[in-house]
Amino acid sequence: MTYHIISIFPESLSSYLDSSLLKRAKEKGLMNVLFYNIRDYTKDKHNKVDDRPYGGGPGMVLSALPILSAVEEAIEKSEKPLVVFFTPHGEQFSNTVADEIKDEYTDVIFICGHYEGVDARVTQILKTKNVSIGPYVLTGGELPALVMIDAITRRISGVLGNDVSVEESRIAPKDPYTRPECFTYKEKEYCVPEVLRSGDHAKIDEFRKEN
């Protein structure tokens, strides 16, 4: 899977994408990330990417043409692309949506809006898949892009090392424990539930199902 990120702050994403599971997925060749700085697609000598909204209102709106040019380049590099735009009015993202994207597309192009949004003609022209990651508003689309990349990538076969590690494919308790078995904190002792220390695998599985 190749992810194409269209953003005015692409540098803000690199640290997370170069860490942990996503870093290993890139090293295995199971995913790749390409960045497109919207400022590089402007024809203005000042690399201006936004302007005042028609009809008045607060803030600035990202201009359509630089974004369209960036997306065009990303599409040219793609085999079977999906163009995603983040909006509170979009389809709620979920593991089911992540699986659909993983199974149906080779490339995902994320348009990361900012300020007061993106010129509406962008989504009209590109016929984007509009997605929301929750009932709240964020400063830009960069965090939602990271959420989707993480959720989709961990579902690609080989990324986790063992496919049963995908949460709904295994029995995982909502409250995990590790060593030491007991410790004292502020004069009170806290211990791992006895059943998890019993060695009785049948009882442990039952405990995990119940929790």
Verify that 191 and 133 share a domain, yes or no: no
Task: Find out whether 39 and 67 touch, Cβ atoms under 8 Å.
Answer: no
Dist CA 6 CA 35 (whole Å): 6
Residue 131: Cβ within 10 Å count: 22
What letter represents residue 9's amino acid?
F
Q: What is the pLDDT of residue 169?
A: 53
Place of tokens 């709106």: 61
Dist CA 171 CA 165 (whole Å): 9
* CA 133-8-95 angle, 5° bins: 20
Verify that 125 and 201 share a domain, yes or no: no
**Number of Cα atoms under 13 Å in the Cβ half of residue 152:** 25
- pLDDT per residue as tens digits for the range 9-61: 998 999 999 999 999 999 999 999 999 999 999 988 888 999 999 988 888 99
DSSP at 53:
P
- As for how many domains the chain has, the answer is 2
Domain boundary among the residues 147, 163, 179 is at 163
Verify that 147 and 194 share a domain, yes or no: no
Verify that 130 and 181 share a domain, yes or no: no
- Domain around 186: 171-210
Verify that 30 and 108 share a domain, yes or no: yes
Residues paired with residue 189 on neighbouring β-strands, in sequence order: 184
93: domain CATH number is: 3.40.1280.10
Verify that 149 and 188 share a domain, yes or no: no
Dist CA 33 CA 6 (whole Å): 11
**Sign of dihedral through CA atoms 6, 133, 21, 24?**
negative
Verify that 123 and 202 share a domain, yes or no: no
Verify that 147 and 178 share a domain, yes or no: no
Q: What is the pLDDT of residue 167?
A: 57
Verify that 80 and 122 share a domain, yes or no: yes
Q: Which two tokens stand for residue 67?
A: 């974004």
Verify that 152 and 175 share a domain, yes or no: no
Q: What is the pLDDT of residue 148?
A: 98
- Give the pTM: 0.87
* CA 36-131-37 angle, 5° bins: 10
Q: Which two tokens stand for residue 31?
A: 């995913």
What is the DSSP track for 79-125? Answer: SSEEEEEEEEEEEEP-HHHHHHHHHH-SEEEEE---TT-B-THHHHH
pLDDT tens by residue, the chain, 211 residues: 999 999 999 989 999 999 999 999 999 999 999 999 999 999 888 889 999 999 888 889 999 999 999 999 999 999 999 999 999 889 999 999 999 999 999 999 999 998 888 999 999 999 999 999 999 989 999 999 999 999 999 999 999 876 555 655 555 667 888 999 999 999 999 999 999 999 898 988 888 888 7
Verify that 91 and 12 share a domain, yes or no: yes
CA distances from 92 to 34, 95, 130, 132, 205 (A): 25, 10, 9, 5, 32
Q: What is the pLDDT of residue 166?
A: 62
What is the DSSP track for 182-206? Answer: EEEETTEEEE--GGGGS--HHHHHH
Q: What is the pLDDT of residue 173?
A: 67
Verify that 158 and 176 share a domain, yes or no: no
